[in-house]
Amino acid sequence: MRHFFLSLIVIYLILEVILYVKFYKPDVTSSLVEEIYEKSVQIRDSRYNKTKEFLNRARIKGASNSYVEPVYLNDKDHLVINKHTVKLENATILVLCRNWELKDILSSMRSLEDRFNKDYHYPWTFLNDVPFDEDFKRWTTEMASGKTEYGLIPKEDWDTPDFIDQQKYNLSIEKAIKDELLYGFSRSYRNMCHFNSGFFFRQELVMKYDYYFRVEPGVQYFCDFQMDPFRLMRENKKKYSFVVSLYEYENTIPTLWETVESFMKEYPQHIHPNNSIDFITDKAPLGKYGLEFGDSPYNLCHFWSNFEIGDLNFFRSEQYLDYFEYLSKTGGFYYERWGDAPVHSLGATLLLDRDEIFHFEDIGYNHVPFFSYPEGKQVMKYKRCVAPPNTDNINVQLGSCLPRWWRSGSGKKFLKEYYHEDEYLLFKEHYNI
C-alpha cells in the first residue's frame, strides 16, 4: 500500500512539472539556468529560420539567368506582389488576333495570367485589321487582370502596299501553291508578316509603351515566372528576348539574305560592332551530327517570334526603320513569303550588341508544334513546371538553333569553342574547307 501511495505522489509531481512548464515561463534565478534557457530559445529560432528558408527556396527562380531578385509571395519580410505595392514597367502584353480566335486567345490569357500576370496586372493591348466585336471585348476583359485596350489597324499599315506589282504577286501565289509552300496560298499571312515586321510598334495604342510581350492564340506557359521579365529587360539593358530558336524554311526566303547583305553594304554605320553575325552564319557541326545547308552564307537560324519580349524603342530606332524599309521596298514579303521571325532575328543580330539579346531559358512554353521547357529537374521543381507528358523539348533536338546561340551569340560560354575541335579541324583540313 505504501508503494502505491508513493507512486501516486510521483505521478502527481510529474503532472505538476508538466503543467508548470507548459503554462508558465520558468523562473530563471541562477545564471546557469538562464544560460540554458537562452540557448534553447536560440535553437528554436534557428530551426524556425531554417524551415522558413527551405520553404521560401521553392519560390526562387532557380536558373542561371537570375538577374532579378526573387519575390517571396505571402511573406511579411518581403515584397508582396499586387498592383498597389509594385511599380510596373512601362509595358504591355500585345496580341494580334481575330474575333474568331476568341477561344484560343482566352486559353493563352488564362495560362499567362496564372503563371505571371495575376501578380502584376500588366495591361493587354489587342490589335485587329477589323473591329473587335463586343463578345471578344467582354470575354477578354473578364480574363485579364489588368486593363484591356482594343485597336483597329489602319488599312495603310495592313494592306498590300501600292508598289507591289499585282500580276507578279499573283504569279508568285500560284507558284507557292504549286510548290506546297507553308502558308504560300495566304495573302493575309503575308500582310501579317509585313505588319509584324514594320508596323506593330507604331500603332497608336502601342506608342505610349517602352516594352511589349507578344502573345498569340493557343499558346501555353508551363512554369511560374517568379520575376518580372520587363524589369529584367530594363535593368539589364536587354532589347530583344526569345525562348525558341529554329531553322527557317529556306524556300520561304530565297533572296532574304542577299537583300540583307545589300543593306549592310549600303548602311554600314547601322551594323553594331559587337553584333552576333556568327550566330546566323555558323555552319559548323554541333557534336557529331551536322545538317545540310544551302549555298547562302545564312544558316537559316532565327528566333521564333510568336514568343518575344522586346524594347519597342529598338524597333522605332533609325537603324531598324531603315532596315525594314529597305527590305519592304524589294517586295520580298509578297513575291516570296518572308516571315517576321527571320526579319526580326536578322535585324536584332546585326543591329544590336550581342549582349542585348537574351534567352529566357527557364520559361516553359508551347506553340504548336513545339514544346520548350527547362531541362534541369531542380528548376522544373522550383518553378512549379508541369510539362505535358510524352513531349520532347525542342531546345535539345537537332532542329534547334539554340546550341549555335550558346556558342556564337551571348550564350553558354563553355560552348564558345567547338566541342570536338580536333575532329573538326581535321575534317576541314581533309576537305580543304
Residues designated as active site: 308
DSSP designation for 241: E
* Range 176-184, long-range pairs (CB < 8 A, 24+ positions): 176/337, 179/251, 181/249, 181/251, 181/252, 181/337, 182/249, 182/252, 182/337, 183/337, 184/252, 184/337
Note the helical H segments in 132-165: 134-143, 155-158
Q: Residue 69 is placed in which grid cell?
A: 531578385
At what angle are helices 340-351 and 318-329 packed, to 10 degrees?
A: 140
Q: Residue 393 is placed in which grid cell?
A: 523539348
C-alpha to C-alpha distances, 33 to 15, 20, 24, 43, nearest whole angstrom: 21, 16, 15, 15
Q: Which residue has the cell 549555298?
A: 295
At what angle are helices 340-351 and 187-198 packed, to 10 degrees?
A: 20
